[in-house]
Amino acid sequence: MKLIRIDKDCHGTIVIAWVILACLIACVLYFSHSLWVQIPLITIFLLNAVFVFWFHRVPERTAPEGDDRTVTSVADGKVIIVEKVYEKEYFKEERIQVSVYMNFFDVHANFWPMDGQISYYKYHPGKYLLAFLPKASEKNEHATTVIGNSHGEVLFKQIAGTFARRIVCYSETGNSVKRAEQCGIIKFGSRIDMYFPLDADIKVKVGDLTRACETVIAELR
């Protein structure tokens, strides 16, 4: 049986959460002497401790067959947007946007969607609106990465949500990356936006469920 792998940047978050939960359990034991109060509350706190640990897991995934035209999902979740939009940060032209929304129970580790080289990276501080709202793409805290190869460039944004208060991204301009290797994590409920060339063959539709590394989002020309 393989051990659960936890994101390397989340160990501190887990320890802090466990310390807080341990203090709450100690308070329950100190201030209440009723088993009818102690057992339910302690059970809830212990389940929260397990959830915090499980939430920051990094699963092992196998990428599907494909060449450097294949673009897979950055994250687990549900496709909420597939539409043509004007991308104004980097391309400054029309692109096809595909957005994947992650809920509390989805894996929040993120993975490189394609083979290539990072040509652009920028972190944007911002608000913490509900991640599924259209304006969250620009208003919320987010990190923008562009990866390119001989078939074109793809931009993706890691977007914080109401409860996601920290984005971890391993992007560094000039670095070469490989599809399906981890590129970061978003802590608690969030979203990924991906922007493709207009001639890309989009493989998903609104309502589809995606699995990072395994679901093919598009094929570049």
Query: What pLDDT digit, counting tens, does each position of 156-182 carry?
Result: 999 886 554 578 899 999 999 999 899
The residue to which tokens 């304006």 are assigned:
135
| DSSP notation for 95-152 | EEEEEEEE-TTS--EEE--SSEEEEEEEEE--B---TTSTTHHHHB-EEEEEEEETTE
Taking the C-alpha atoms of residue 65 and residue 17, their distance in angstroms, rounded to an integer, is 39
Q: What pLDDT shows up at residue 140?
A: 76
Over residues 84-98, the mean pLDDT reads 97
Q: What pLDDT shows up at residue 14?
A: 86
Q: What is the pLDDT of residues 51-65, one digit of tens each?
A: 888 877 888 888 888
Q: What pLDDT shows up at residue 167?
A: 83
Task: Report the chain's mean pLDDT, rounded to a whole number.
Answer: 88
CB of 154 closer than 8 Å to CB of 202: no
Q: Of 167, 192, 46, give the one whose Cα is nearest residue 106.
A: 192
Between β-strands 77-87 and 109-111, what pairing exists: parallel, antiparallel or unpaired?
unpaired
Percent of the chain whose predicted confidence (pLDDT) is above 90? 62
Length of the chain: 221
Tokens of 156: 């993706």
Taking the C-alpha atoms of residue 115 and residue 70, their distance in angstroms, rounded to an integer, is 8
Q: How far is CA 152 from CA 118, 128, 160, 174, 195, in A?
A: 12, 32, 27, 16, 11
Taking the C-alpha atoms of residue 116 and residue 132, their distance in angstroms, rounded to an integer, is 29
31 pLDDT exceeds 80?
A: yes
Of residues 145 and 7, more confidence is placed in 145
Annotated catalytic residue, options 73, 99, 137, 190: 190
132 pLDDT exceeds 70?
A: no
CB of 78 closer than 8 Å to CB of 101: yes
93: phi > 0 → left, psi -120 to 50 → alpha, else beta; which? Answer: beta
Of residues 140 and 86, more confidence is placed in 86
Q: What pLDDT shows up at residue 141?
A: 84
**Does residue 150 carry a catalytic annotation?**
no
CB of 159 closer than 8 Å to CB of 201: no
Tokens of 131: 């991640």
Instruction: State the CB neighbour count (10 A cutoff) for residue 56.
Output: 24
Taking the C-alpha atoms of residue 100 and residue 216, their distance in angstroms, rounded to an integer, is 13
Instruction: Note the CATH number of domain 70-219.
Output: 2.70.70
Taking the C-alpha atoms of residue 139 and residue 136, their distance in angstroms, rounded to an integer, is 5
